[in-house]
Structure 1
């Protein structure tokens, strides 16, 4: 019996306009009415998902920034995994020397840049606020950074370069077409989920997860029931127990009524 539903947000729960459909909203509310917990697991910050938390009146801890930060029902940070100060400065130097413009995500959910890139429009498209600062090379940022990100297509040469150079000391994750993040090697949505349920009676077999992107794989490997929306990356589709309709056709809501609240 499913006791917990964990869902990715962009490309899974929300449609292509970053809106929550009525069917998805009602399905998750019905989960809660039936005693099933609901957790959002996103690569984005708490600021961009607060409206969903409010709509669904979620009380459990929520997973943000690809599992590097978990927040409680008061939206206070209860778990975080940092990049580390020396590596933070090294990553900025490496990326900037190659002519690219990184972003730094901090434990408080704020994401900063010091030189605008036209590709940052993808953050605006998914309602993720990003903030201009005079320079990223600050100790206060280095001490609190959980992710160095880029608006970068998978085919960009920098993707391969950074993976070859840093994949042994960082966890490199991709969500959607453009979102590329380098995080603590112990950080993942799956590990954050384990942290949340570690002292509960919820077993892995009691958990249903929904996702679409490579950064959801750790959850798929952890949970008992794995459901992918039809628009998912091939590796997620291959790992899924069930494939539901696309995110823009309320696939999550349909699957909840078909497989969980049946």
Structure 2
């Protein structure tokens, strides 16, 4: 078979809007496995948020977490990690601390809510994860990423103001309608997928990647076959070589069944 590995985003792609994995998607994953194709996920979620889904899906190879900050193997833990410099994390927290935005720091399986605010409820209602409330992130030596929750266009403006004020360039990405993340320099799902391919000894031409949001764009561009679901952001659909049905219409199953039938 031409393709050896399929990598899918979770939220908005494999998961429907109710955050469930459909029976059709699970059956299609089994079908490509039976055909000898490897399956894994690439997600903005960290270890805690992704774990229930990893236990359900049982990826054949390590998963890409934190939008590429970490490559994680169930039963072993992180096999590759990147961290946001402490100075950058503290700078971002200070910049947003007295605003309406919810600030969240992530480190491996820990989630830190900075100064609990109403905006944090947006995240907690969607993700339903355990967390710790802290005044800031200064007690941590490092974090994988920092996320602000709220009005993304305004968050982008404020991040630009911070860059101009401090004379720095930040690696930021929109991951959901209300999530804007700051990642370590050079980190993306595309770079995470490149690293995973190096670990596995798989050529990029043998990889299919599917996603919906701007944080998926880099891996869609990297993969031999980049795929978008119909509900994807327009730039993502334009970059993709193939557009499949939406996350609510089993787009991943559609793709995987085409692969299993030898039509890709």
Q: Would you call these one fold, judging by a TM-score over 0.5?
A: yes
> CA 1:38/1:90 → structure 2, altered by over 3 Å: closer, same or farther?
same
Instruction: Report the secondary structure of 1:83's partner residue.
Output: coil
- In structure 1, the partner of 2:188 is 188
1:161 correspondence with 2:155: no
Q: Deviations over 1:106-158 (max 9, x none)?
A: 1x23221132232323323433525132322333x2x2301110112333x23
Q: CA RMSD in A?
A: 1.9
Kindly report which structure 2 residues correspond to 1:145-224, keeping only aligned pairs within 5 A, or say none: 145-155=143-153, 157-166=154-163, 169-224=169-224
- In structure 2, the partner of 1:252 is 252
For residue 178 of structure 1, report the CA deviation from its aligned partner.
Answer: 0.9
> CA 1:95/1:128 → structure 2, altered by over 3 Å: closer, same or farther?
same
Point out where structure 2 has 5 or more consecutive residues left out of the alignment.
Answer: none
Structure 2 distance, partners of 1:90, 1:127, is: 26
Structure 2 distance, partners of 1:52, 1:158, is: 29
Kindly report which structure 2 residues correspond to 1:24-173, keeping only aligned pairs within 5 A, or say none: 24-106=25-107, 108-139=108-139, 141=140, 143-155=141-153, 157-166=154-163, 169-173=169-173
Structure 2 distance, partners of 1:27, 1:227, is: 16
CA contact (8 A) 2:11 2:19 kept: yes
CA contact (8 A) 2:100 2:117 kept: no
For residue 227 of structure 1, report the CA deviation from its aligned partner.
Answer: 1.2
Q: TM-score, normalised by structure 1?
A: 0.91
For residue 99 of structure 1, report the CA deviation from its aligned partner.
Answer: 4.9
Q: TM-score, normalised by structure 2?
A: 0.90
Aligned length: 258
